Amino acid sequence: MSWSSVDTPDKLAAELDRAGYLADRGLATAAFLALRMGRPLFCEGEPGTGKTSLALALAGALDVPLIRLQCHEGIDASAALYDWDFPRQLLHLRTLEAVAAAEGGGLDAEAAEASLYTARFLLDRPLLRALREAPCVLLVDEIDRADDEFEAFLLEVLGEHAVTIPELGEIRAEVPPIAILTSNRTREVHDALKRRCLYHWLEHPDLHREIAILRRKLPELDDRLAAQVAAAVRRLREMELLKSPGVAESIDWAAALLALSRTELDAETAAATLGAVLKYREDADRVIAAGLDKLLAG
């Protein structure tokens, strides 16, 4: 569907629903405003709250490509924007030299250099691809893992929707990409970047929405087992764990129970399948010590 046909937050929520993402009213409104205002949406929250999945679903709902830039420590402009294909450039240069030698003439250095820096040797990285392939959804995932210099660079690109490549000139997006920035808040992102974005904090889903997500992702899961899993995961999130389980872990736990043909989550089954929902030995030990019967009560 076209972006312009999404004229209300409720309609966007319905399209996201059809794409497999159950957005609450606040998130649907934030995403709708990002579409309408042409502003990046900065999504912050604990791991597993659905930040990355929102971008995937938004691309699916709008029927546009998703282009993902995964941030990491030390990422720089060449990894995010563009680079030159040096091996191909070297082969091209050797071919030019061979042709010139065969013809008995010398190689025109200026012409050879000009032929090396053309679009055929340009390697598009995610940001440049997003500018050239828009309309699209650009996911800048885990921006909190990048450094301050990269934030400043990203701010410039998102603000101008254009970049200048010295050898080729300016490349500008005809339609600005819809940018979704995510952060797990491992560090604070600078205010300058946040000011350019719409902001939304994602919480873990409430009990009823998590049950609905489980039933959507695993249609063969009955309501009772879905409710047991969702309630148990909710209690796990209230404990002081090294890593609280997200929605993905809820789905994994429920899928594990289905794979074992279980119709009920009891203490014995929970003990055997904790590895689907908890990823640290210390967390599993803490939960077992607190009592699995207590975890599953209610």
| Tens of pLDDT, residues 30-88 | 999 999 999 999 999 988 899 999 999 999 999 999 999 999 999 988 889 998 988 99
* pLDDT of res. 4: 62
Band (221; pLDDT cuts 50, 70, 90): very high
Per-residue pLDDT, averaged over 128-156, amounts to 92
Q: Residue 242 in contact with residue 280, Cβ under 8 Å?
A: yes
pTM of the predicted structure, to 2 decimals: 0.85
| pLDDT-above-90 percentage for the chain | 66
Q: How does residue 140 score in pLDDT terms, banded at 50, 70 and 90?
A: very high
Backbone angles phi, psi at 34, to 5 degrees: -60, -40
Give me the helices (H) in 137-261, please.
148-160, 191-195, 207-217, 223-237, 247-259
If one compares 110 and 137, the residue with the highest pLDDT of the two is 137
Q: Model confidence at 2, in pLDDT bands (50, 70, 90)?
A: low
The Cα–Cα gap between 56 and 66 comes to: 7
The 10s digit of each residue's pLDDT in 200-209 is: 999 999 999 9
pLDDT in tens, 10-36: 999 999 999 999 999 999 999 999 999
Residue 272, pLDDT score: 94
* Lowest-confidence segment of 99-103, 128-132, 213-217, 274-278 by average pLDDT: 99-103
Q: Which class for 11: exposed (0-12), middle (13-18), buried (19 or more C-beta within 10 A)?
A: middle
Q: Evaluate if residue 251 carries a pLDDT over 90.
A: yes
Residues 166-178, mean pLDDT to the nearest whole number: 90
Confidence of residue 95 (pLDDT cuts 50, 70, 90): confident
**For 161, left (φ over 0), alpha (ψ -120 to 50), or beta?**
left
Residue 7 has pLDDT above 90, yes or no: no
Rounded to the nearest angstrom, the gap between the alpha carbon of residue 195 and the centroid of all alpha carbons in its chain is 20
Range of weakest confidence among 37-41, 111-115, 136-140, 229-233: 111-115
What pLDDT shows up at residue 27? 96
- How many whole angstroms separate alpha carbon 130 and alpha carbon 70? 14
Q: Please determine, for residue 3, whether its predicted confidence score (pLDDT) is greater than 70.
A: no
- What pLDDT does 109 receive? 76
pLDDT tens-place string over residues 98-135: 877 777 766 777 787 778 888 888 999 999 999 998 89
* pLDDT at residue 89 in the model: 86
Nearest 5 degrees, angle CA 7-CA 8-CA 10? 140
Percent of the chain with pLDDT over 70: 97
- For 93, the enclosing helix (H) or strand (E) is helix 86-102
